[in-house]
Amino acid sequence: MSLTRSLLAVALAASAAGAITAAVYDARDGATTAALLLVCGTLVVGLSHIFARRRGRMGSLTRKFRAGVALALGLVIAEVAAVALFMFVSPHDAFLLVVLLVFAAGLAVYSATLLAQGLISDIRGVRDGLVDVGEGRRDIEIATGASDELAELAGAANHMVEQLRERETERDAAEAARRDLVAAVSHDLRTPITSMRLLSEALSDDMVDTGTRRRYEDQMSVHLASLSALIEDLFELSRLEAGDIQWSMQQVHLGELVGETVEAMNPQAQANGVAVHAAVPPDLAPAHANPEKLQRVLFNLIQNAIRHTPADGSVTVAAEANDRTVEVEVADTGEGVPSAERERVFDPFFRGGEGAARSGESSGLGLTISRAIVEAHGGMIWLAESDAGTRVRFSLPRAG
């Protein structure tokens, strides 16, 4: 409250007390009472505001509290003395009143100090907890001894510590993923580059015949294609994760798109002795998607399914619609994904089992890019439960 409003409140209170005194006794006593209360109240309010402005120099809360009590008690005793002087109160009565006031003030100080000890203890507990947080501790819980505003402050501090712990866990996980990604990329770059260097040195020695030279050149072409695919996938993944998406969305009829994709994958499937089937209802609701990116997801999933399906196995691409989404599933009759690895199959360069998650013809980012594309469409991708083989499902928004 501002000083002006405080003084106005004191003046109104003094006037009201004077009016009551005048009504009970006489106008002179009323005027004297109003004047005494106005003077004392003005002094208390003025000094209180001075103390409040200089509270930074007064030290602890206990010292501030004692200063406030001393100020109020001193001015009340002065007011009693003035009443005894101007209103003909006997010295005996005035002395007894002062004794009672001092005794009451002592009891008030004791009670308030006792209550303030718990308050100060809670404040110190919050302070010490925040100091520990600043020093890096995240396993603390700040507690107070009462359900008051300090308890709310402690609760807010605990919530802050929990958020810090979660953010640091996410940061550490992201840093670990970044290190793993760099290590995996370094490995996948080093292997073909080393092979091409050795092949290039062999060709430069002119010590190989024409057939061997042609074979070395073919091997170099394979390594170059592998490097090109890896670099392209890395660039695409970085754009997707950065939100650099410039796609045109349209109604996509999955029956046509799935049929085209399955037909394009048949040569690779036949070479591996795997049958690929499409099972999409002709009246399936269209999806709201980019057809080229959606076909990229289907290529990645079907290639991955063929790679993990033994000869004489099969891969089935199915789809169904519900109220708001269209769900697509790529299921194979392969060995399936162990439960311990299910949460990591969409991580970059993750090698499941005995390192068979990626063959030499794969960049190791197909499932990761598929997840990024699906999520950029506003959908989700996951591993569905399966008694045999692997079922990868993803959802897309329905068109219209």
Distance CA 4, CA 208 (A): 102
- 8-state DSSP, 398: B
Q: Across residues 50-66, what is the average pLDDT?
A: 65
Tokens of 32: 């004297």
Structure confidence at residue 354 (pLDDT):
44
Residues 6+ apart with CB under 8 A from 247: 290, 293, 376
Distance CA 130, CA 127 (A): 5
Structure confidence at residue 91 (pLDDT):
66
Distance CA 314, CA 378 (A): 30
List beta partners, residue 176.
none
Structure confidence at residue 81 (pLDDT):
67
348-354-328 Cα angle (round to 5): 50
Whole-number CA gyration radius for the chain: 41
Tens digit of pLDDT for each residue in 342-400?
Answer: 777 887 766 554 444 344 455 567 888 888 899 989 999 999 888 888 999 999 999 87
The pairing of strands 250-252 and 287-289 is: antiparallel
Tens digit of pLDDT for each residue in 99-123?
Answer: 666 666 666 666 666 666 777 788 8
Tokens of 290: 């980019």
Half-sphere exposure (CA, 13 Å, Cβ side) for 305? 31
The pairing of strands 381-384 and 314-321 is: unpaired
Tokens 């080393």 correspond to 194
Structure confidence at residue 319 (pLDDT):
93
Tokens of 251: 């109604």
Least confident residue range of 110-114, 197-201, 312-316, 345-349: 110-114
Least Cα distance to 251 among 396, 90, 77, 95 occurs for: 396
336: left (phi over 0), alpha (psi -120 to 50) or beta: left
Q: Across residues 194-219, what is the average pLDDT?
A: 81
Distance CA 138, CA 158 (A): 10
| pLDDT exceeds cutoff 50 at 55 | yes
CA distances from 335 to 95, 277, 390 (A): 100, 19, 7
Distance CA 195, CA 181 (A): 22
| pLDDT interval class at 257 (50, 70, 90) | very high
Helix, strand or coil for residue 386? coil
Q: How many helices (H) and strands (E) does the chain have?
A: 9, 7
Least Cα distance to 307 among 370, 230, 360 occurs for: 360
Distance CA 105, CA 103 (A): 5
Whole-model pTM: value is: 0.54
Are residues 293 and 328 in contact, defined by beta-carbon separation less than 8 angstroms? Answer: no
Residue 190 CB neighbour total at 10 angstroms: 10
Backbone angles phi, psi at 384, to 5 degrees: -85, 155
Distance CA 341, CA 349 (A): 13
Least confident residue range of 67-76, 332-341, 379-388: 67-76
Are residues 395 and 380 in contact, defined by beta-carbon separation less than 8 angstroms? Answer: yes
Q: 336-369 b/e with 16+ CB inside 10 Å = b? A: bbeeeeeeebbbbbbebeeeebbeeebbbbbbbb
Residue 136: is it exposed, middle or buried by C-beta count within 10 angstroms (0-12/13-18/19+)?
exposed
Domains, the chain, with CATH or none: 153-241 (1.10.287.130), 250-397 (3.30.565.10)
Structure confidence at residue 356 (pLDDT):
41
Residues 6+ apart with CB under 8 A from 70: none
Structure confidence at residue 380 (pLDDT):
93
CA distances from 233 to 95, 143, 230, 239, 290 (A): 94, 51, 5, 10, 18
| pLDDT interval class at 327 (50, 70, 90) | very high
